[in-house]
Amino acid sequence: MEGSSSQNGSSSCNTIPEIHDSVFSYKTISHENFFNNSILLKLKENGFTTPDEKAEELIKRLTNIKYLYALKLLFENLQNEFSPQILRDTLVALADPTPFDFYAKQSVTRLELHLRTWVTVLERMCFSPIILSKELRDKVYNSLSKFAEIHRKTTQVFEIGVDNNFKSNFNQFNQQNNNQDDQIITKKRNYNIDFLLIHLRDTLHSLRDDETLFQEIIRRVKKLLKTALNITPGILTTITGTNLPSDCSILSMLNQVRESLSFKYPVASYYVDWRIMLIIQHNLFTWSEGTEMIISKKFCELVLMEYLWSFLEREWIDVTNKSILDSQTKFDEVSNKVTKALKNTGYFMNDLAGNEPIALPHTLWFGILDLAQNLIQKSTRTATHGLCYYLAIESLNKAPSSFIQFKAVEILLHLHNIDSKMFSMIDDDFDQYIKKLKEIKSSDFSEKFQNLLLFIKEKYVEDLKILSENIGKEKKGKGKGKSINQNSYLKREQISNSNVIDIIADEMTCPVSSEPEDQLCILKCQHTLSLNNLKLLKQKICPKCREKIEENDIRYLPQSSIFKNLYTKFSESGHIMIPPIKLENSDQIYDSDDSDNSEADLILAKKKKSINSIIKLNSNISLSSILPKFSKKQHPTYQNIIKEVNEKHYEKAESLCKEFLIFFSKSYSLRCIIGYIYRCLKNYEQAHFYLKEAINLKPKQPIAYLICGEIFFWQCNYKEAINNLQKSIDYKAKINNLYIILGNSFLFSEDYYIACVCYNFALKNNSDNYLCFKNNACSYEKRHMYSEALNMLDKLLNINKDNSLILCYYGEILCNMKQYSKAISYFTKANIIDPENTHNLNKRAIGYYILQDYNKVLLDLDKVIQLDPLNNLAYYLKCLIYYTKKDIDNAIMVFEKCKELLDLNDIKAKTLLFHLEYLLNKNNSTELNNILTKINQISNIKDSELLLFVRCKVYVELKMYHEAMLDLNLLYDKNDIYYLYISYISYIYLLREYTDFWLYLNVNNNNDLSELGIVNGFSKHMYEISQVYFISNLVNLNSELYQLQENDINSLSEKIISSKKKELQMNLPMLYLNCHYYIIWKINVKEILNKDCFIKFIIKGFNSKRYKDSELVHYEHVLKYEEVLRLEGCGWIEYQLPKNVNEYYVQTSIEISGSINMQMDYVRYGHNEEEITYIPNICIGDLLPNFYKIYPNVPKTFKDKYFSRKEMENLLELKDIINHL
């Protein structure tokens, strides 16, 4: 119940979206890292040392999910003590529904986290010496109806879709009849919120202001629990010869507690047991986490798991002999009643006086599973995770309604995310469950479950996104808080490839009997002994370490419920002795792959299990000595097949393999080999045929999936390639180049982030893989992570410094980083090695053009034309050079040649031609109209941004402003995605000179923005439409800044503010954000003259235009010398602050201290992929913006060389396959 769910998901319904537990999935942060939360650490650094002080600060910012999460962590730590006043203030703050007055993508997760924090605080109050007044309790209680309404509306929004709600029909959505809403919100309901609301209602109801019975209940449960576990000595008097009391079982203890409970007002039927369980959990955690360490954490978890199993065992009795989802109809009826009751607090308060509050069916069951999920998040022990797995899968298979389905699936996804190898069976569990639903119920039930599974996975992703932002996940060099490594996964004990049941059995095994036992004792030395064997000891000495056993130091560990429910699995896995099965003709057994008799395989498996105990007793006996194998791999025909494949005689190998399959008709390995042979023959259809047969024979073996995935890659079916390669990883394939093949599949499917992850993982095992370096560089470059791309290329050049393609590619990336002089040096090195590479010469010519070295541009272009007289790009650039030099006659002559060479069936070629024609006829309206006519004849013009831009420019020149505005809007729509926004700004730059156009765009805009310093149409348009605020606007508000203003053609407004090596502090006005974004500064750190310097960014925000300074949310982000040094010399960049702003009215400020020569152009609101985004040089003469889109880079131009098929085919070799069959 305590932990906000944080699972991983994807759009797939029946496959868990994870590739490898140490590579791709978001990971659950370890429990000890929870208490290294960056917010809590920052509070401590700022002088807030006591829990009270921290809580007091955090409740001021509950609308910020980062602070809300920190507050939850603070109260979850049982070592923190809080004053009654702070407990009261926190409870009141959390009972305020006011901040939930809008609906967004994070609303569901935020609401769940808010309620979980509320529950955590209320639980702390239950165990504290504080009594709420009736007025306070009623006030908090009455707020539940508002939260219930928030839950209903939020669920409805997500059922319809957030995007659909924020359109013209949003008012209609707000006015819909509540009864209609109840019918809609069925598919995407977060049942965690329903459960939390019911828990809050019933707990508040049970807290009386006129009695102290609640504390008495806590005292009684604690006393009984101590006795039951022998924490208060007495139960284990068996050492002295007395029999163990019969009433010490968990159920007996619970009955005693239950009989002692009575509440002044009726409570829901589930709540008595639920409250007992919470008290038990609280005591166990307190005893194991406190300074005294009364019990170990291992003992705490084992005891808690037994109680969870005991409670659920009773719940399962009620659904025995009933089919799955038997109570779904009843649940839906009661659910509607509960929803209506929670929405009407007044009705409910009146009803509470005499009647039992209504609760969802199986609320206790759901709650116990929630406690199990909380334990998973706290625990690092695989045995605990395993017990929770069986608890969840049993619950899923017995689930009477979607209510329990939801919670069981949430746990299973969470376990799979923690360790996808250990819990790889969960994929199959879901498939089997879906199949069972189809057989027992109908396809309708199956489809509903798959929809539920999909929703939980999507919810899981959102939970993890927020979790990853809230647990100190700050980028290196940013902020003051300590960052938690992205790969700081749940630290768990090192385990072998054992099954889950084996690990659980080992925990419960007595060293004397060598079998799991239902009643165990934990000795002071932490060794385990069964209660029965403890009685039989003649000398009270530990059989393992020989330490003397003292009665008072023994802890009783009941495991009866777990033992009973897992007994069959213990037997089947050979942990409990079973009679051996006689197997005739055992000396003729082949290995399992050779056997055609599945029944014999089963007998053999049973035989192996039955003799496990013999092997355990005698380490000199091996399984192979009892069951000898004779493998087909020793057969001469098999050896010949391998020989022929290695010698690339694939047709002969194919013939031999087909003949051999006649004798081994059910051989998995032979089908994999013949599939590989057909892959080498490029007969992919036959390859898939045999590999599919292999998968049907052994669906959990990895090799067939691996070969299938590699074949799908060559068929350019990257989705299926990824799917099959992922399955091979899930089934524990250990092929060296597997992650490179997978990375290639992601690279060619344009999922560059995951491609990088794959390549980096592969490089851990093979740190000098040339192909991996090369493809990883391309992935980084596609992600605009240029420094990382250059790092990969450096490694390639260390291997071969004379690779001209890599040198050219290096220069291209440097151009993207605006380091043109350095780029030219690499183009020159490449030219020395390969002087006839026209691509490299053209690239160097563009670099010279940007540096305005026009003579060198012409020299390079003349060389290109000499080498390739039909190179249309060279003629285009040459025409551009002559135009820039105002040599119009030569420009027109070259234009005619360019017109001959360009393929006018290609829209990009047409764009180049129209662009040149436009430049040469800028002042000729007749020709401009002719150009416009020709452009408008193109049917698919909207598919080309650059052609749209050329038409827009023509419209502006002709003063056809309305048509120009329509084209500009189209360009905005095509780039209204965070990582494309820089492209849109580059278009704006080339239109900024047209003052009349910007006046036209604002002709009907009467908004007076002079209080923001915005006094012209261009600045107004950029602020209102593009959320860009020019720093030069501040000069209109503060004339003293005029002396710091400079002209800069690379600035969007052509005016910038420069610090000029002085101390500077600037406060921007309060600006309005129409949605929640990051703050992005466009800056140019030109020079640092003193190490004693820093740049401080300050954000203040509020959700209303009216505010008091004390109400503003305040955030600071400081770049110290080392961080500033990274930015020096980068030219103009966009620097994104790590804070996601959640307020609508925001004031940003900047403070520059020390000798820093820094320029500032604008502040905007948006979201870039990276912290630092290099701004392309927009002052590059008359080159079209984003010219690289027309003229591709090395990997695309030389695709066959850069992505060598021969190199990639060699990634999968026969030896890798046969070594793993």
Q: For residues 48 and 59, give the distance between their C-alpha atoms in angstroms, rounded to a whole number.
A: 14
Asked if residue 652 has pLDDT above 60, the reply is: yes
Strand partners, 1057: 1045, 1160
Residue 1049's pLDDT is 80
Query: With contact defined as beta carbons under 8 Å apart, do 948 and 970 qualify?
Result: yes
Strand partners, 1067: 1149
Asked if residue 620 has pLDDT above 50, the reply is: no
Residue 329's pLDDT is 74
Asked if residue 107 has pLDDT above 90, the reply is: no
pLDDT band at residue 1177 using 50, 70 and 90 as cut-offs: low
C-alpha distance across the termini of the chain, in Å: 45
Strand partners, 1159: 1058, 1084
pLDDT band at residue 687 using 50, 70 and 90 as cut-offs: very high
1173: left (phi over 0), alpha (psi -120 to 50) or beta: beta
Residue 711's pLDDT is 94
**Cα-trace Rg, the chain:** 35
Q: Structurally, what CATH architecture does the domain formed by 1016-1177 represent?
A: Sandwich (2.60)
**Which secondary structure element, helix H or strand E, spans residue 1095, and what is its range?**
strand 1094-1102
Taking the alpha carbons of 243, 248, 250, 252 in that order, is the dihedral positive or negative? positive
Q: For residues 832 and 843, give the distance between their C-alpha atoms in angstroms, rounded to a whole number.
A: 15
Q: CA neighbours within 13 Å on the CB side: how many for 1012?
A: 21
Strand partners, 1113: 1101
Q: Which of 8-22, 182-196, 540-554, 859-873 has the lowest mean pLDDT?
A: 8-22
**Which secondary structure element, helix H or strand E, spans residue 1065, and what is its range?**
strand 1064-1067
Q: Which of 91-100, 461-470, 659-668, 889-898 has the lowest mean pLDDT?
A: 461-470
Q: Give the tokens for residue 472.
A: 């100190």
Q: For residues 31 and 376, give the distance between their C-alpha atoms in angstroms, rounded to a whole number.
A: 10
pLDDT digits (tens, 9 = 90+) for 726-749: 999 998 888 878 999 999 999 999
Asked if residue 1010 has pLDDT above 50, the reply is: yes
Q: For residues 64 and 313, give the distance between their C-alpha atoms in angstroms, rounded to a whole number.
A: 41
Q: Which of 393-402, 422-431, 593-602 has the lowest mean pLDDT?
A: 593-602
Residue 878's pLDDT is 92
Query: With contact defined as beta carbons under 8 Å apart, do 1159 and 1046 qualify?
Result: yes
Give every CB contact of residue 1026 below 8 A, 6+ residues apart in sequence. Answer: 972, 984, 985, 988, 1164
Residue 951's pLDDT is 93
Give every CB contact of residue 1120 below 8 A, 6+ residues apart in sequence. Answer: 1094
Query: With contact defined as beta carbons under 8 Å apart, do 205 and 267 qualify?
Result: yes
Asked if residue 246 has pLDDT above 50, the reply is: no
pTM of the model: 0.51
pLDDT band at residue 1062 using 50, 70 and 90 as cut-offs: confident
DSSP 8-state code for residue 750: T
Give every CB contact of residue 747 below 8 A, 6+ residues apart in sequence. Answer: 755, 775, 778, 779
Q: CA neighbours within 13 Å on the CB side: how many for 558?
A: 24
Q: Which of 18-32, 609-623, 654-668 has the lowest mean pLDDT?
A: 18-32
Q: For residues 33 and 40, give the distance between their C-alpha atoms in angstroms, rounded to a whole number.
A: 11
Asked if residue 578 has pLDDT above 50, the reply is: no
Q: Which single residue is written with the structure tokens 């003590």? A: 81
3-state secondary structure of 1116: strand
Distances (CA, A) of 822 to 810, 848, 1014: 10, 11, 39
Is 523 exposed, middle or buried, given 0-12, 13-18 or 19+ CB atoms closer than 10 A? buried
Q: For residues 1059 and 1152, give the distance between their C-alpha atoms in angstroms, rounded to a whole number.
A: 8
Q: Which single residue is written with the structure tokens 């391309």? A: 778
What are the structural domain ranges in the chain?
500-572, 586-626, 1016-1177
Task: Return the CATH number of the domain spanning residue range 500-572.
Answer: 3.30.40.10
